[in-house]
Amino acid sequence: MPYAVGKHAIALCDRCGFQVPYLSLKEEWNGNRVCKECYEPKHPQLEPKGKRGDAEALRHARPAPDEDPVSAADAAAYQAYLDSRQ
Ligand SMILES: [Zn+2]
């Protein structure tokens, strides 16, 4: 279906409600058709860029060579746990 151009048509601004020529309306990012005085471009903060967290952990972390991976206290506690189950 063909649409009329609207060369002589009058429209209402979606923001201020004033009558303006139909062809002077501009469409905003949210779909509102507003007059040129009311037109505001989309603010960049409405589409923030993705932020990644600070890198803290190492990918291939290993304990120091002289460090015992299991402390004596942990080993004693684990042994006590095993003894209590028997
Ligand atoms: Zn307006």
Residue 64 inside a domain? The answer is no
pTM (2 d.p.): 0.55
Residue 75 inside a domain? The answer is no
Residue 23 inside a domain? The answer is yes
Query: How far apart (Å, rounded) are the C-alpha atoms in residues 32 and 11?
Result: 12
The count of domains in the chain is 1
Residue 50 inside a domain? The answer is no
Instruction: Note residues around ion ligand 1 (Cβ under 5 angstroms).
Output: 13, 15-16, 34-35, 38
Domain range for residue 1?
1-43
Strand spans (E) along 1-86? 10-12, 19-21, 26-27, 33-34
Inform me whether the pLDDT recorded for 17 exceeds 90.
yes
**pLDDT per residue as tens digits for the range 30-57:** 999 999 999 999 999 999 888 888 999 9
Query: Mean pLDDT for the chain?
Result: 91
Distance 7 CA to ligand 1 centre (A): 19
